[in-house]
Structure 1
Amino acid sequence: MKIGTLGAGTVAQAIARHAVAHGHQVVLSNSRGPASLAALTEDLGPLARAGTPAEAAAAELVVLAVGWPQVPDAVAGLPPFDGRIVVDATNQFASPPLNAKIADLGELTGSEYVASLLPGARVVKAFNTLYGQYIAADPRHEAGRQVLFLAGDDADAKHTVADLTAGFGFAPVDLGGLREGGRLMQLGGPLSGLHVLKQD
């Protein structure tokens, strides 16, 4: 699979490392341009390259992993997604995480808001409940596999993300749609920051 990232911080890098380790191609992008990612892509190896956000967004599966205030700019002007999958790994911090102020979206969940900015995309919420170090680490432990919660309104898209992340070693758990499942996963929800293992 060809995977693109919008953002190249801790979460995007962790997902990219899992992806290349399992034979997937990765195109990483950020707001500073491909040249700023040269050292990172060299470290990731020949399956990774840097690109523009438009090039990353053209991949079969796109990971959105930027700070919440940067979401609108990160997705502005991208070509239509035409049914491609976007994994939304964001959390709606209206201010830096140390202050932990949550953006007020009214009735919308964070991923419903993200989906509204990405016409044609099949959005799957995933990775946002885990701290970066738990995403980066080997998800397989003696006691079981790291649970990865996910939610989305398209069943096929969720199956694709579940199969991909299970291949990485995670134990994906489908929580339903972006409204119900997303509310459980987003900041302030009962699953935010919850790190559990599933025994096989």
Structure 2
Amino acid sequence: MRFGTIGAGAVAQAIAGHLVTAGHTVTLSNSRGPDTLLDVVAQLGPSAGAATVEEAATADMVFLTVRWPQVGEALAGLPPWDGRILVDTTNQIPTSPSVADLGVATPSEFVAKRAPGAHVVKAFNTLYARYIADDPRHPAGRQLLFYAGDDTVAKATFHDVADSMGFAPVDAGSLREGGRLMQIGGPLSALHALKQD
């Protein structure tokens, strides 16, 4: 399975680091071009690479890690998704228009509308970046990672990938119901807890 990122900031680098450690390959991208990521991919190791956003977005599982105001621009003009998995790690900021103003119930439904044909899975947005970057395995247990989505196969695939990275993945439901629980202000937002194995 090939992995890509749209965005290459702290969250993308943290996820990429776990993917590389788990033996996967990952292609990072940002709006400024692959040449700006040479130091980042060198630090991650030979299983990491850099490419254009369009190239990274052709991966089997793509992590959307841009800031909320850049979501629309980041997803515009990409190749057809054709059922590939888009993991939405974004958080709608409180000062932006409400989801009702956007014509949807949750921010991830907004993302799904901007990526027709993608199987969107919401994940990583409930954790601060430092908790994503840290080793998810602790003596007391593994870091819980909530996720939501509407496609059962995509969610099962994400679950297996997250588990391989060391997280303890927990299905929070659909993009609408789970998304509400996970968005800023929801009961799962910023809930940093461990699962005892």
Q: TM-score, normalised by structure 1?
A: 0.95
What are the superposed Cα offsets for residues 144-199 of structure 1, whole Å, 9 maximum, x if unpaired?
A: 11000000000010011110011111100001100000000001111111101111
Structure 2 residue 168 is the aligned partner of structure 1 residue 174: no
Q: Name the structure 2 match of 1:5.
A: 5
What are the superposed Cα offsets for residues 61-103 of structure 1, whole Å, 9 maximum, x if unpaired?
A: 000000000001111100110000000000001xxxxxx5354
Structure 1 residues not aligned, in runs of 5+: 94-99
Candidates 178, 183, 191, aligned match of 2:180: 183
Q: Name the structure 1 match of 2:190.
A: 193
Q: Say if 1:102 and 1:187, in contact at 8 Å, map to a contact too.
A: no
1:34 positional shift: 0.5
Q: How does 1:43-82 map to 2 (within 5 A)?
A: 43-82=43-82
Q: How does 1:28-107 map to 2 (within 5 A)?
A: 28-93=28-93, 100-101=94-95, 103-106=97-100, 107=104
User: What's the secondary structure of 2:80's corresponding residue?
Assistant: coil
What are the superposed Cα offsets for residues 116-161 of structure 1, whole Å, 9 maximum, x if unpaired?
A: 0000000000000000000000101111110000000000100111
Q: Say if 1:139 and 1:145, in contact at 8 Å, map to a contact too.
A: yes
User: What's the secondary structure of 1:59's corresponding residue?
Assistant: coil
User: What's the secondary structure of 1:173's corresponding residue?
Assistant: strand
The amino acid of 1:199's aligned partner reads Q
The amino acid of 1:30's aligned partner reads N
Q: Percent identity?
A: 63
Candidates 123, 136, 141, aligned match of 1:126: 123
Consecutive aligned runs of 4 or more in structure 1 exceeding 6 Å deviation: none
User: What's the secondary structure of 2:175's corresponding residue?
Assistant: coil
What are the superposed Cα offsets for residues 3-35 of structure 1, whole Å, 9 maximum, x if unpaired?
A: 000000000000000011111111100010000
The amino acid of 1:67's aligned partner reads R
Q: TM-score, normalised by structure 2?
A: 0.96
Number of residues paired by the alignment? 194
Question: Distance between the aligned counterparts of 1:70 and 1:187, measured in 2?
Answer: 18
Q: Say if 1:20 and 1:48, in contact at 8 Å, map to a contact too.
A: yes
The amino acid of 2:163's aligned partner reads A
